[in-house]
Amino acid sequence: MAKVSGCGDMSKEDTYSVLAERHGYRDSVRYRRILEYLMTPQQAELVALLPLKYEELAHRLGIDVAKVKSELENLYSRGVIFPRNPENLEEASFALAVVQLHDITMCSFDVDPVRDRELFELWDDFCVQEWDPDQVASWDRGEQPQGRIVPAYQAILDSPEILPCEDMREIIRSARSLAVTHCTCRRRKGAVGNNCDKSHSMVDIQFNISAEYLISRNAGTRLSADDALALIDDCEELGLIHTCENSTRMRPRWGMCNCCTDCCMIYQPLNRFQVPVTKCVAKSRYEARVDIDICNGCQDCADWCPFDAIEMVKTEGSKKYKASVDLEKCMGCGVCVLKCEPQALSLKLVRPAEHIPEPQF
């Protein structure tokens, strides 16, 4: 990685501020440190000139075309630039936003959390101190949640009105290509000493162009549809939450995240700043229901619920405490249903198809 101390030509050094400004963090010392870690001053100047062609870049920087190509290949391997075609880096572009740079620079198999711990520490410090509060404030002001819960498919197998965009089997099978990569939230937290007690990090499923991009730069492993569904089964067994963009799009642009509330860059900050989850993530069309006659009071559902939506209460006519669902908190993820051994819990369809919006672009 290109670790620099901040010395050198002022025009080149100031290029870091230019790049940081594109992501809304021109004056952030923390974000500048990340960019300095990822790029030398000359590389930063090169990135700032993208998407110019090779010859123009060489002319502007006073270097030969071979050097331009070499530097771009280096930046591509680190996840700093994004080409239209992985086989041709001409007219590639800098990351569009913080989230893109965050995810791609930390998901590569060539990045080691021990050897490259400094990168993960820089990202974690920036996220905790600046990006998380900024994101939460933005979500709190938003009119529509950006993400949505996809219910555990094993919890809705008997539902007669499942939409394709909420049926994990249909979502997976609709993809031309699939890949699994690291959940960078979980990987980052583990690298700085906050290991997730729920799952490993190789649970993020990407689709089509995104899948091919990750595979091309050694950041993703190709999956068949059956492989992906087996991974989804594992995620549901681990109690993870399926989260994707809030639209009916069958191949989510985010990919399919499999989240926990301890690590996730969405759920963890929302909890930390006590902002309702629904400010950023829409509920599924389902809600959990309890058959108190079947409930044996084991409390497994309450322990597993990622949204603290279940409590044990005293019920009339029984000496046992029974599960009770707080419908305001319930997100319809289905984790509790799969963890209920006596099968007292189920997901009930409570929202119309229009609850899931059409893609805006």
Regarding whether 158 and 47 lie in a shared domain, the answer is no
Q: How many domains does the chain have?
A: 2
Q: Which of 229, 260, 284 is the last residue of a domain?
A: 284
The answer to whether residue 122 sits within a structural domain is: no
Which of 72, 96, 120 corresponds to the end of one domain?
96
Shared-domain flag, residues 83 and 199: no
Q: Which of 331, 352, 348, 335 is nearest to 291 (CA)?
A: 348
Cβ atoms within 10 Å, residue 208: 16
137 and 269 inside one domain: yes
**What range does the domain containing 267 cover?**
133-284
Angle at 106 (CA atoms; ends 272, 92), nearest 5 degrees: 120
277 within a domain of the structure (yes/no): yes
Give the contacts of 295 (CB within 8 A, at least 6 positions apart): 322, 323, 342, 344, 345
318 falls within a domain: no
Q: Domain for residue 243, yes or no?
A: yes
Shared-domain flag, residues 89 and 162: no
pLDDT value at position 252?
A: 77
What pLDDT is stored for residue 13 in this prediction?
55
Co-location of 147 and 276 in the same domain: yes
90 and 2 within one domain: yes
Say whether both 141 and 91 belong to one domain. no
Task: Note whether residue 327 is domain-resident.
Answer: no
* pLDDT by 10-residue block (mean), the chain, 361 residues: 41 82 97 98 96 94 95 95 86 95 96 97 98 97 94 92 95 96 97 92 95 94 98 97 95 89 96 97 98 96 98 87 97 98 97 94 72
Q: Has residue 266 been placed in a domain?
A: yes
139 and 278 both lie in a single domain: yes
Q: Is 29 exposed, middle or buried (0-12, 13-18, 19+ CB in 10 A)?
A: exposed
Regarding whether 75 and 173 lie in a shared domain, the answer is no
Is-above-0.95 flag for pTM?
no
Contact 56, 85 (CB under 8 A): no
**Closest C-alpha to 219, from 100, 51, 89, 72:** 100
Contact present, 223 and 297 (Cβ < 8 Å): no
Tell me the per-residue pLDDT of 20-75, one tens digit each, with 9 for 90 and over: 999 999 999 999 999 999 999 999 999 999 999 999 999 999 999 999 999 999 99
Last residue of a domain, one of 241, 258, 284: 284
Packing angle of the helix pair 10-22, 29-38 (nearest 10 deg): 110
Q: Is residue 319 part of a domain?
A: no
Q: Is 80 in the same domain as 180?
A: no
Residues 6+ apart with CB under 8 A from 263: 183, 185, 186, 188, 189, 194, 196
Q: In this structure, are residues 52 and 62 in contact, taking their beta carbons and an 8 Å threshold?
A: no
Q: Does 154 share its domain with 242? A: yes
Is position 39 within any domain? yes
Output DSSP code: residue 358: P
| Domain match, 141 and 270 both | yes
The total number of residues shown for the chain amounts to: 361
CATH no. for residue 51?
A: 1.10.10
